[in-house]
Amino acid sequence: MTRIDDTFARLQSEGRKAFVAYVMAGDPDYDRSLEIVKGLPGAGVDIIELGLPFTDPMADGPTIQLAGQRALEGGMTLQKTLDLARAFRETDSTTPIVMMGYYNPIYSRGVDTFLRDAAEAGIDGLIVVDLPPEEDDELCIPAQKAGLNFIRLATPTTDDKRLPKVLENTSGFVYYVSITGITGSAEAQAGDVAPEITRIKASTDLPVIVGFGIRTPEAAESMAAVADGAVVGSAIVGKIAEGRPAAEVLDYVASLAAGAHRA
């Protein structure tokens, strides 16, 4: 059982849905990023998605691309991302952290070294968007053996033929991408998402969380109502990009979390 498994078991026993927040590690700088990450649990966040900055984030929209660029320009690295997670763990031993990013920095570090360091830093799961299930031997299977969940994305184009392969080695939860396209590109509609969640849940016992296109407490509530929880990323990153104080960013996160928890 990982922290992710424990969190979903607790939420289920409480009859509550999960709220997951994404932030880019090191955006706009290390210290402010750490301040925001440390404040997320108090704002109602159940699981933290911590973005790993990368130079070619092909699946991300402009908001998250720019966040990664700011972080990289500020000197953020894979090592410093792990350091940030380790610093978070000094005061929080229960909130799960999922590192989300691309394979190149992990490959460059060496898979075995990365997995050892990530587990030691307190990372609980991975979302690596450019590794398809056909490449599970590269990272997914080793990660599971190292005690980290490997979370896979399903999308509106993941048909019934493809879905079993996507779910085969997934653990922790399934991240359903509610719209086609890049992050932050459109608003999702719960009426369109609900049948897809039902279809996925017919094939897995894992929780299914909905992300992409959620910007308001009302949208978080409507999405969480048809799934096991909601993820917000670009909207939060956008507040950080505006230079809002950490307290203001966290107030916004708290409003989103409250919406998801009402579902």
User: Measured in whole angstroms, how far is the alpha carbon of residue 260 from the centre of its chain?
Assistant: 15
The amino acid at residue 238 is G
Mind listing the pLDDT tens digit for each residue in 110-132?
Answer: 999 999 999 999 999 999 999 99
User: Among 129, 123, 251, which residue's Cα sits nearest to residue 183?
Assistant: 129
d(CA 226, CA 229): 8
Residue 46 has pLDDT above 80, yes or no: yes
What pLDDT band is residue 58 in, cutting at 50, 70 and 90? Answer: confident
Lookup result for tokens 């299930």: 133
List, by residue number, the catalytic residues: 49, 60
Mind listing the pLDDT tens digit for each residue in 184-229?
Answer: 455 667 788 999 999 999 999 999 999 988 999 999 999 999 999 9
Averaged pLDDT of the chain:
95
Cα–Cα distances (Å) from 185 to 44, 66, 81, 188, 215, in that order, read 25, 14, 26, 10, 11
Lookup result for tokens 């307290």: 247
Q: Where are the domains of the chain?
A: 3-262
CB burial of 208-238 (b: ≥16 within 10 Å; e: otherwise) equals bbbbbbbbebebbbbbbbbbbbbbbbbbbbb
Q: Give the containing element (helix H, strand E) for 46.
A: none
Lookup result for tokens 């070294």: 113
What is the phi/psi pair of residue 173, to 5°? -165, 170
Residue 75 has pLDDT above 70, yes or no: yes
- pLDDT: which is higher, 78 or 213: 78
- Say if domain 3-262 classifies as CATH 1.20.1250.20: no
Q: What percent of the chain has pLDDT over 90?
A: 91
- Asked if residue 51 lies in contact with residue 225, where contact means CB atoms within 8 angstroms, the answer is no
pTM: 0.96
Mind listing the pLDDT tens digit for each residue in 122-160?
Answer: 999 999 999 999 999 999 999 999 999 999 999 999 999
- Three-state DSSP at 19 gives strand
DSSP string of 157-224?
T--TTTHHHHHTT--S-EEEE-SSSSTTSS---HHHHHHHHHHHHTS-SS-EEEESS--SHHHHHHHH
